[in-house]
Amino acid sequence: MSEKLQKILANYGLGSRREMERWIEQGRVSVDGKVATLGDRADASAQIRVDGNVITGLAKEKSCRVLMYNKPEGELCSRSDPEGRATVFDRLPVIRPGRWIAVGRLDINTSGLLLFTNDGELANRLMHPKHEVEREYAVRVFGDVNTAHLKALKSGVELEDGMAKFTTISARPSDDESLNHWFNVTLSEGRNREVRRLWESQGLQVSRLIRVRYGELELKKRLPQGAWIELGLDDINALRKMVKLAPETESKVVDKMNQLDHARLSRMRRSVKKHRLIKSRGHKPRR
């Protein structure tokens, strides 16, 4: 059965459907020797080229894979940076065929849970507002937070790109004398800097922001910052179920591989430390 060309390329892991549409419009994609146009379809037997390079492995069944990454502050959610700054892709394992796709973004000053997948359809659905996948953040707010602020943030605030609100807000225990207060907040969309902008609309400043949950997946408490772990079949299918995708039946990960025991945590921390040292010296890290 044939599918739209941009969907095939996105599922292969080359980028989002929108990005693939741009590539097609730019004449970078061909099917069976003919330059493709937007709207073209192809099947598994077609020879698809991008920039003259054959895309191999399209006809093979590809297992859905998902990584959970604990993003530290200071890393960019981009594949590369002209200034040489660290990115969230620097330490991810090499994958063939395809590539890792980030499920959403966290800004440079935000840390916590970031998901990557090789399945373009899963990534697109998890990010699409219509599926209303809930995100939860731990947020430290500087300033005097009162009941009126919390009521406004839950009922809705007009931002420059439309109405926004938190689904839930819960206060965390804190020192009454401190000007910093911790809250856990949830929302069901991922607009740029939305959590920060909501608090700023009340004249309050976010001094720390950590994503702790995406859908039903919580950030593993022992996962070091800058480290990743590949998720097993149960977690992958929990994500797929949320966005109405058929379940996977196979996984490259067995239960024992997913355990964060002392030995594995030590290896992770050493690897992260080594990577940061190499990056600080201006060398390209080896994978």
Catalytic residue ranges: 107
> What is the rounded distance in angstroms from the CA atom of residue 269 to the CA atom of residue 260?
12
HEC string for the chain? CCEEHHHHHHHHCCCCHHHHHHHHHCCCEEECCEECCCCCEECCCCCEEECCEECCCCCCCCCCCEEEEEECCCCECCCCCCCCCCECCCCCCCCCCCCCEEECCCCCCCEEEEEEECCHHHHHHHHCHHHCCCEEEEEEEECCCCHHHHHHHHHCEEECCEEECCCEEEECCCCCCCCEEEEEEEECCCCCCHHHHHHHCCCCEEEEEEEEEECCEECCCCCCCCCEEECCHHHHHHHHHHCCCCCCCCCCCCHHHHCCCHHHHHHHHHHHHHHHHHHHCCCCCCC
The C-alpha atoms of residue 26 and residue 285 are separated, in whole angstroms, by 33
Length of the chain: 287
Q: Is 200 exposed, middle or buried (0-12, 13-18, 19+ CB in 10 A)?
A: middle
